[in-house]
Amino acid sequence: MNRPRYLRFVTTRRHRDSGASEGLFAAAYDLRRAGAFAAHEAVWFQQTVGWFERHVKVPKRVDLDLPSWSKQQDRVVWWWHAEAATPIRHMRHLATMLREHGVVVRVLRSAKPGLIVYDDDVQVGAIPFRDGVR
């Protein structure tokens, strides 16, 4: 059995383009837009987002040598390397806050999250296999 090399924090909602479970940032931004955060939570959330903006690269696009690029781009799903301790710790804190607001959060683990089209020190972008996470 392959040891999980990647982690993904998800909610029960589905992303409309990829069909994958939606990540925590989308749920947190929805709560913020709805005014669900207390003042101290809104500040903490902005600080958390700021940490990710300063420390985690967010590619504007992933260069793929695949047909129908625009459709493939929207299917890329982001996973953390299991060894990326600091970003994962921040994600766990975000998960705790979302759970306090009634959002169901799960952590997916996979050795093969899909066709990997982006890889850096802390994360990979993968196009999911047709049959789901392996």
* pLDDT tens figures, 30-67: 999 999 999 999 999 999 999 999 999 877 666 555 55
Using alpha carbons, list the distances in angstroms from residue 89 to 9, 83, 85, 94: 11, 11, 6, 9
What is the tens place of the pLDDT at every residue in 19-33? 778 899 999 999 999
Token pair, residue 107, equals 């952590």
DSSP 73: H
**Cα dihedral value 17, 23, 25, 31, nearest 10:** 90
Q: Please tell me the least confidently modeled range out of 77-81, 84-88, 107-111, 124-128.
A: 124-128
Residue 69 pLDDT grade (very low, low, confident, very high; cuts 50, 70, 90): very low
Task: Indicate whether 109 pLDDT > 80.
Answer: yes
How many residues can be counted in the chain? 134
Residue corresponding to tokens 């998960």? 95
Question: Sign of torsion, CA 117 121 51 114?
Answer: positive
CA distance 23 to 10: 4
Pick the residue with more confidence: 77 or 109?
109
